[in-house]
Structure 1
Amino acid sequence: MNARTVYLDHAATTPMASTAIEAMTAELALVGNASSLHASGRRARRVLEESRERIAAALGSRPGEVVFTSGGTEADNLALKGAYWARRGQDPARTRILASTVEHHAVLDPLHWLESTEGAHVELIPCDETGLVDLAAMKDAIERDPGSVAVISVMWANNEVGTLQPIPDIAELAAAHGIPVHTDAVQAVGAVPVDFATSGVDALSLTGHKLGGPVGAGALVVRRELELTALVHGGGQERDVRSGTHATAAIVGFAAAVELAVKEQEAYATRVGALRDQLVAQVLAVVPDSHLNGPPLEPLGRHRLPNNAQIAFPGCEGDSLLMLLDAAGVECSTGAACSAGVPQASHVLLAMGQSDEQARSSLRFSLGHTTTTEDVDRLVAAIGPAVERGRAAGLQR
């Protein structure tokens, strides 16, 4: 990353923590397949299981509940497809899957695939204008026919607008009917308190590169009692639900990052939350008709991730504004999909009741452990001219 570049896209991926780099680098110099029986293999297995124990301790789970994956997307797919196939196999009537309208595509796309090819009936539960799932609608959907629900999936924290969902409440509703709940906690771990045991969920996805670990290492924390059908078959690693040779070095870096992120979560949230509040206040002052999407900036950690600020700039196309800021050395995100080079409105903002035009006018600024006051100042200095140019370009079209 160029030293002159201001990086405000930590929700996409954040720089690796030095402790994770050191742990991973040391392991890369060693040899050993954790499934081999000789000394090198046993050493790798010991390091692998120590990493599993460190992650479990940080997340409030048992070591045997940590299933290593290549990242959050694979973990989401394993949870949803694996639980759906297993539950439907036990009872063919269990074909319904409930999820929120604001899920990440790593959840929505496998659900749509299950619906189109595997006979699933997917019901997306609506949210309010802040992105908060409608608990009453979820309760109604469950109680309409609880015996037909295979699994429920609601993300812990939204990747676009930062909304924190009432996961324990959803888990309690589901538990009354014996329905397993999965949560995509990719954005939450290290940013807000996350405890698997007390949350009430049955499966939780996380990934390394969102919290200071390497790309390519993640995990599905899943209760031993929840049966999953494997996606990948082979050597029978990871409780026989995720075969394949372990990426030991990446897992070691992942474990170091999880441990550090959870240990420093409170201090991180306080420091980054204050920078986020400064960013929002100053950007809204420079562009007075801009506004914050998602939950308001209430007391830290109540309803919103501390590192998230998604701001709408009326009269601007988000993708054009992104490129203008990029040219000024400030990197951020629209948080929306782009298909074949054609920008599309965010499904999250549309689900929150915004128009297509409103949904395409927003940028997401996500802060991280390397963000400084100077980074915020650089954005504030660049945003006014960028919005001016963006609006002028829009008028010329």
Structure 2
Amino acid sequence: MDQGNTTFILVAAALVLLMTPGLAFFYGGLVKAKSVISMMMLSFGAIGLIGVLWVLYGYAIAFANNVGIDGVIGIDTGAIGLMSLLEVPEGAAFPPLAFAAFQATFAIITVALISGAIADRAKFGAWMVFAGIWATVVYFPVASWVFNFTLDPETLAFTDGGWITYGMQQTFGVGAIDFAGGTAVHINAGAAALALALVLGKRIGFAKGAHVPHNPPFVLLGAGLLWFGWFGFNAGSELAADGVAALAFINTIAAPAAALLAWLVVEKIKDGKPTSVGAASGAVSGLVAITPACASLTPVWAIVLGIVAGAVCALAVDLKFRLGFDDSLDVVGIHLVGGLVGTLYLGFFANGTGLIYSGELTQLMVQAIAAFAVMIYSFTLAFIIGLAIEKTMGFRVTEEDELAGIDPIVHGEEGYVLEATR
């Protein structure tokens, strides 16, 4: 067993787990002062619930080989409770539990991302019910489509796996490229966020400029923690401390840096001033876009991707005002749009197989199939689950509670308590 690579995977897993508290700060700074506890608790609730579900059966669904409908859905009963992973197989490069831990953090952050679309108006209990059902019927199977594979140790070729990677490779000669989760994480979460935004409806007073971030320093802190953890997200997906991981690492610097600059330029042209929230959002949009592509682009093409993603996402966040859906914290504009940009960009610029290298559109075709299949699947089921919860236990707080601020109503706490009021 390679102790160096084992250490690398475990450290990467810790970095990715840190992304969810980072997301809590990022989202928490964007909402009203009287909703900051509620907003951050949606992320911490995801850590608790999805962490448990992953151990109990999530891994068994996401990484079920030759069980059920091969390449689409199944459950490995031996992996329930991670029981079959307790022993390290002879000749294994790293303990199976290290990989399970790494993938657990992906499941957690994906669910937490969705919560930004329902800020200031969601019940915590309803969110937890949604999170558990959506993870079970959407994230775990989609993770299997993208991340599940069997690798021949001698030829280093895929011998089995999910339909998005291995399945389309068998059919079209190339599989979809998604190194660290452009489809499984960002498009998946962004589509679900759009569905929930439609189910819950608009916040009271929804209009451009009506809801101002209450704490931009929180937003910058959250973005910094997200960027720090993203090195584990992208480079760690190589599962080895090697040259591919190094390429993913440098691209995780280059693309978000370029996206940050592009967002600020667009913001300056549109609104006259570059903002701190824009800088943070630009960096995150670049991180989203580079996620599927980080190991398949040269650093220069990663910079170009960052510029495209930063500019496109800066424009996309205004779609909610034009189309009339209240995606509170721009999960759709950043994660869904950024995920689509990064995934489709590979069809043109992926090393070796992109259009500019191969002269063929096959890679673009399979990237589009993967992206839109995940988007449609996630949106449809999220809408059904969200609507069912809204019609039964209720998903949205009352108008009175929303206006008053939901922290004391839902959690009995306030984010900011002045000394004189104690």
Please indicate the TM-score interval, normalised by the length of the shorter structure.
under 0.3
More strand by share: 1
More helix by share: 2
